[in-house]
Structure 1
Amino acid sequence: MEAIKEAPIPAMDSLTAAMKSNIVPNQEYLLQGSVLDSAVEVLLHRLRGLCDNVDSGPETFHDHEMCFSIRSATPQPLTLRVRRAIDYLDMPYQLRYIGQPELGDKSRPTIVRSSIDVATTPTIVDFLTEMGFRMDFEYILRGYMFRKGRMKITVSKIFKVSDI
Structure 2
Amino acid sequence: MQLVRRQFLFLAGAAIAAPALGQGAKLTLVIIRHAEKPDEAWPGPSLTSEGSPDKKSLVIRGWQRAGSWSALFGAGLGGVDFPQPAVIYAADPRAETGDEPSQRPYETIRPLAARLGLKPITTYAVGQEPALAAELTALSGVVLVCWEHKAIVKTLLPDLVGQQRIDGLPQK
Q: Which of the five TM-score ranges fits, normalised by the shorter chain?
A: under 0.3
Tell me which structure has the larger Cα radius of gyration.
Answer: 1
Question: Which structure shows the bigger proportion of residues in strand conformation?
Answer: 1
TM-score, normalising length: structure 1: 0.25
More helix by share: 2
TM-score by length of 2: 0.25
